[in-house]
Structure 1
Amino acid sequence: MTVDGNLPDPPADVTVEPAAPDDRLDVLRILDAAMLETDADAVDDRTAAGDALVARSARTDGVVGALVAVRPAPDRLRVDAVAVRRARRGRGIGSALVAAAVDLGESDPAVEAVTATFDADLRAFYEDLGFAVRPAGAASDPADGGADDAGDGRAGAPADGSPERLEGRVSVPGREPP
């Protein structure tokens, strides 16, 4: 997505759609293969709420990517995890999943912004999708899930010594936060 609202389409051989309960194992496997911590019950909850998305191969009908979003506040939708099968990376599937999450936020009148917290090496990916990026925990908005997303009070420096974390936000057009 860009600031003017142009969202990327999925590749021609992929569709992005809400995850169904039958997609649970595929979603968990894809997120696990990307080494993303995911709670199976949370995936079930987000699927039931319509906040989990899958990218499906048109050729095989198999799930090739997954995104799980959470709602830390009624006016926020946060991308919690997004991953694509290794063999399908670099083809725009992850971008299409995040764009679909932005669409999901835009279709919900209560959502003012879609947010994500991510490693610094994904900054360009999120900026290309229209996210305004800042260090995680910097000038934190309580609606984004707390005063300190980094965990130790140091913006962008997680307590466990892991790589710098950033967060991004796309405001929903016409519904700018006050």
Structure 2
Amino acid sequence: MTDPDTVTVRPGRESDLLAVLRVLEGAMLEVGATQVRTRTEAGAVLVAEIDGRVVGALVRDGDHVEALAVHPDRRGSGVGRVLVERALADTGRLTAAFRAEVRPFYESLGFEIEARDGRLWGERLR
């Protein structure tokens, strides 16, 4: 597990675009550069860094998580948790639609989960 104190979470910048896209692509998430750029400009992208390297990203539209990914070398280390907690601190509420294989992650964070339109849907209040 990564020590949460070694993870820096900050708003994404235009200069982070390539690193964010690589992390999202590594998780096989279909989020385009234009969407990430638009969300970055709106202040709705968070990046997690360790030693100055982007190891995770959370992209949201309002309080909805559009994409959340952690570099494969850091999965299971708490980086995703830190990103979600920061996003919750910023918004007070988060929703997310996700695949069944990541349900345990969202459950561990206290999301209320239900099946909706063939996908899982979760919600958590701060």
Query: CA separation in 2, counterparts of 1:122 and 1:86?
Result: 14
* TM-score, with length taken from structure 2: 0.91
State which structure, 1 or 2, has the greater radius of gyration over its C-alpha atoms: 1
Query: CA separation in 2, counterparts of 1:99 and 1:171?
Result: 10
8 A Cα contact 2:88 2:125, kept in partner: no
Tell whether 2:72 aligns with 1:86. yes
| Stretches of structure 2 lacking an aligned partner (at least 5 in a row) | none
Q: Which amino acid aligns with 1:81?
A: A
Ranges of 4+ aligned residues in structure 1 off by more than 6 Å: none
Query: CA separation in 1, counterparts of 2:74 and 2:83?
Result: 13
- Counterpart residue number, 2:53: 62
- Counterpart residue number, 1:166: 120
* Superimposed CA distance per residue, residues 18-47 of structure 1 (whole angstroms, 9 cap, x where no aligned partner): 111110100011101111001111101111
Query: CA separation in 1, counterparts of 2:94 and 2:54?
Result: 24
Q: Counterparts of 1:95-106 in structure 2 under 5 Å?
A: 95-106=81-92
* Superimposed CA distance per residue, residues 36-60 of structure 1 (whole angstroms, 9 cap, x where no aligned partner): 0011111011111111000011x2x
**Which is strand-richer, 1 or 2?**
2
Q: Counterparts of 1:84-163 in structure 2 under 5 Å?
A: 84-106=70-92, 113-136=93-116, 150=117, 156=118
Query: CA separation in 1, counterparts of 2:7 and 2:111?
Result: 24
Q: Which amino acid aligns with 1:120?
A: A
Identity %, equivalent residues: 46
* Superimposed CA distance per residue, residues 63-106 of structure 1 (whole angstroms, 9 cap, x where no aligned partner): 011110013xxxxx101101111111111001111111111112
**Which is helix-richer, 1 or 2?**
2
Query: CA separation in 1, counterparts of 2:122 and 2:60?
Result: 14
- Counterpart residue number, 2:42: 49
Deviation at 1:171, TM superposition (A): 3.0
RMSD: 1.6
| Stretches of structure 1 lacking an aligned partner (at least 5 in a row) | 1-9, 72-76, 107-112, 137-149, 151-155, 157-164, 173-178
- Counterpart residue number, 1:34: 27
Query: CA separation in 2, counterparts of 1:79 and 1:40?
Result: 16
